[in-house]
Amino acid sequence: SQLPLTFISTLSCRMSWVSGFLVARADDHKTAWGERNGRKWRRKRGSTLWSTRYMSCLRDPEGSNFNGEGEEEEKRGLAARAILGCLRRLAHVFQSKQFRSAKLERLYQRYFFRLNQSSLTMLMGVLVLVCGVMLAFHCVHGHPDVAYASVLSVAMALFLVLMVVCNRNGFHQDYMWMVSYLVMAVLVVVQVFGVLMVSPRSASEGVWWSIFFVYIIYTLLPVRMRSAVLSGIVLSTIHLVTAWRLNLEDQFLWKQLCANGLVFLCTNIIGICTHYPAEVSQRQAFKETRGYIQARIHLQRENQQQERLLLSVLPRHVAMEMKAHINAKKEDMMFHKIYIQKHDNVRPIGTFGSVDSVPSPAGKRNPHIQKKEKAMMAKMQRARANSTDGLMPRWVPDRSFPRTKDSKVFRQMGIDEASSKDNRCAQEALNPEDEVDEFLGRAIDARSIDQLRKDHVKKFLLTFQTPFLEKKYSKKVDDRFGGYVACTLLVFFFICFIQLTVFPHTTLMLGIFISIFVILANILFICAIYSCVKLFPTALQTVSKKIVESRVNSTLVGVFTLLLLFISAFSNMLTCEREGVIECVAEELNISESTVTLCVLHNLTHTAGDTLTLCPSQKTPCPFPEYFTYSVLLTLLACSVFLHISSIGKLALMLLIQLIFLLLLEWPLVDLYDNADLLVTANALFNVLCKVSLKVMTPVILTVFVLALYLHAQQVESTARLDFLWKLQATEEKEEMEELQAYNRRLLHNILPKDVAAHFLARERRNDELYYQSCECVAVMFASISNFSEFYTELEANNEGVECLRLLNEIIADFDEIISEDQFKQLEKIKTIGSTYMAASGLNDSTYDREGRSHILALADYAMRLREQMKYINEHSFNNFQMKIGLNIGPVVAGVIGARKPQYDIWGNTVNVASRMDSTGVPDCIQVTTDLYHVLASKGYQLECRGLVKVKGKGEMTTYFLNSGPSSS
């Protein structure tokens, strides 16, 4: 009872693979540009037809709550949903793929306009060649029909004119659809006259050019899917109806009409299987290109914000030096990079109260100025430390500092022009979506397809000139490979039905068809596993991944399936009788071969009825061998379905197929085609052979198809490679944007806390706009090197004090690295003042622990780590720096002064007392207040009472020394 449901589940899994071929509709609403007029459309919920909740066969039957009737109802409902889902997916192929935004759709048409123009120009040349071949075939024997010859001549002249017009630079995008529909109308006229003027009349005549016209409309003509399908149906119907009306007396008319209908239907299906993935891929490439432009604009804005915030805390010349260092290649250095410049004859212009009111003695620097200079030097250390310890990616400059290596690329894309000062005001007036579209339009107009090909792609092979790009392109996975194999299997079915309809049935035919079907079905099954790997054994999963995810393996498998298709197309020729009709009739009638005329053959065709043979001795006659040629043409068309195979690979495969087939046709099976020519001519009561023989027509037809398919393959591969280049640029820009965002976050968080940085980056702030917050319980730390002033001297030996500041730089860098550890993520560095390091914890909701007070404990642990780190520095630098650390807890006010130049700080009595704990402390000791003592003591920390200490502005306070953490640690 579970077998039907198991089959449905497997079918569901396969249909999930089919969805890989029937790519979902390009939905612009899931992206930023899906917003228009301030509204967002909710995306339609995808069909849950193939959801795993329907696969009840995977559940335990005993655990089901349904009875037998309920299970049967579920099975019927599942089958109905499966059928409905298949029909919906099939109908989606013929739906319009246009973007809902008319502006976006027009940009898409502009994006591929040059490619479509090139394709249209190439199509005109191919049509001139085909019309010339048709005219030559018509005029080579006898007297040509004037009307038909005139139509072909006018069509050739028109296609030549259109080829010249389409190739002009002034050809406008709006003319594209007019030319396309004009070409379709001309092809319909040529089709009508071509079928009507066939001589001698036969239902199989004119099939090859009908196949060609139908296929090129799908592949080389830039029209919508529905227009292509409609034109394919019209051309096919014209041939079928005309052939039926003109050959009513033919005994084999219905066999040929059925075969023709199968050929045309297969051609339309191949055209759909080629047109649909190509259009979806192009639209996806357009969306990715637009994403690239959007990323570029976002990158510029990020750079502007970064520069603004960087210059808010650093002088411009220091910031420029930092940028140059970050952008340069990192080298291993003993010391971290320090940014110091010496300036002579500098005077303060601010007012510092009594300090500035008294001039400094000659030759002696103002102590307050020295303190400010040290503060400025120390304040930049956090960004410097992170830039040298490998935590910061390379600098990506913005418009004010353009990169030389990318300037050429952006000039070609029109980015620099749009970013110039003349256009900047106009851009700022646009909303973000319009600005992206404006950039995209400029990039499309500036894009040169020929220049891209010249710079990156080799002419004939179409491989990238750079091995790195070629290697990366070869790793590109085509998820629709299973769909290509499915299309090949479908073409195989059509070839089987065509040959079973026209040719006699033999054991060899059935054996070949069954064998090839089994092989193709297994290949399709293995490729389908790639989309539903969880339901199959690991070995099959591995094989499927190796085929689909490897370009080489998938190409080999694709070539193998096409060769199997070719074998099914020509192998039955070997079972046909190859004896000449004239020799056979002469032998049967016991007359000489010279007396067997076309009249004799005509009489025999009418007396033979529908037996398909003129000689009783012929057991397996094949009076219509041209259908072998049509089967081979379908095989050639199937080659174009495999979009991932290179154009050179397709050309080699098609030439191999053509060579093998022509060798069979011109050597062992030549009588087969000569017999067909004689029978058609005799049936029409012509005295002489008045048509080009099939053995001459077939090589020309195959050559025309191979040439057209190769040009189409080159167009497809060229488009795919150019799209890959743009996609690669988009990926690189996105990666750079992500790196820049990470860099910005790190840089901004060195200047401002995370929540404050997010607040100021959200939008531009007014200079008088305030940002502040009251914090209930904050732990504050001041840590100072008490004897650093004794160490700092300005002598010629130490480069006027630079080497002293270099050592201070190393100490602060170590402190920054420690505070960046995960265990201290609740801490926030506030600033450095000279040789004093200030930090706090519990400044926002994410770091404040009301219950466990973990943020207070983290600051205490950090203070002890700083003390240990200072001991380590003293041991390795042969110094005797002494550190005093003061801690306090309580309420503070945290905020920012200034909006365009934000400076974050904290204020309050808690901060003042913490500073006093530092200044009144003892070297190499951590002094804490009574409030903090109660918190730490309750957590097991080891503290020692110092006693009463006189604190400025507070009188006497009882303080404690923090000796160590909890004994358990």
3-state secondary structure 391-459: CCCCCCCCCCCCCHHHHHHHHHCCHHHHCCHHHHHHHHHCCHHHHHHHHHHHHHHHCCHHHHHHHHECC
The pLDDT, as a whole number, for residue 772 is: 81
Q: Give the domain ranges of the chain.
A: 3-34+47-93, 290-338+372-460+730-751, 770-964
Cα-Cα end-to-end distance for the chain: 65
Q: Is the pLDDT of residue 108 over 50?
A: yes
Percent of the chain clearing pLDDT 70 (strictly above): 70
Contact by Cβ (8 Å): 826, 845: no
Q: Is the pLDDT of residue 493 over 70?
A: yes
> Model confidence over 726-776: pLDDT tens digits?
778 777 877 777 777 676 666 667 667 777 777 766 666 555 567 788 898
Measured CA to CA, the distance from residue 214 to residue 207 in angstroms comes to 11
The pLDDT, as a whole number, for residue 22 is: 45
Q: Is the pLDDT of residue 161 over 50?
A: yes
Q: Is the pLDDT of residue 59 over 80?
A: no
Measured CA to CA, the distance from residue 329 to residue 208 in angstroms comes to 64
The pLDDT, as a whole number, for residue 766 is: 59
The residue type found at 73 is E
Helix (H, G, I), strand (E, B) or coil at 942: strand
Contact by Cβ (8 Å): 864, 853: no
The pLDDT, as a whole number, for residue 133 is: 94
The pLDDT, as a whole number, for residue 646 is: 94
* Mean of per-residue pLDDT scores for the chain: 78
In total, the chain counts a number of residues equal to 969
Measured CA to CA, the distance from residue 764 to residue 748 in angstroms comes to 16
| Inter-helix orientation angle 647-666/626-639, to 10° | 170
Residue the block writes with tokens 């011109």: 666
The third-level CATH classification (topology) of the domain covering 770-964 is Alpha-Beta Plaits (3.30.70)
The pLDDT, as a whole number, for residue 519 is: 97
> Model confidence over 583-621: pLDDT tens digits?
777 777 777 767 777 677 766 665 555 555 667 666 778
Q: Is the pLDDT of residue 414 over 60?
A: no
Contact by Cβ (8 Å): 694, 625: yes
The pLDDT, as a whole number, for residue 28 is: 42
Kindly state the DSSP code that residue 100 receives in the 8-state scheme.
Answer: S
Helix, strand, coil shares, percent, the chain, to 5: 65, 10, 30
pLDDT band at 197 (very low <50, low <70, confident <90, very high): confident
Helix (H) / strand (E) element for 946: namely strand 942-951
774, β-bridge pairs:
893
pLDDT band at 409 (very low <50, low <70, confident <90, very high): very low
The pLDDT, as a whole number, for residue 845 is: 85
The pLDDT, as a whole number, for residue 57 is: 34
The pLDDT, as a whole number, for residue 432 is: 62
The pLDDT, as a whole number, for residue 747 is: 63
Q: Dihedral angle at the C-alpha atoms of 525, 526, 529, 533, nearest 10 degrees? A: 140
Contact by Cβ (8 Å): 938, 860: no
Structure tokens at 259: 């075969």
Q: Is the pLDDT of residue 65 over 50?
A: no
Measured CA to CA, the distance from residue 862 to residue 829 in angstroms comes to 11
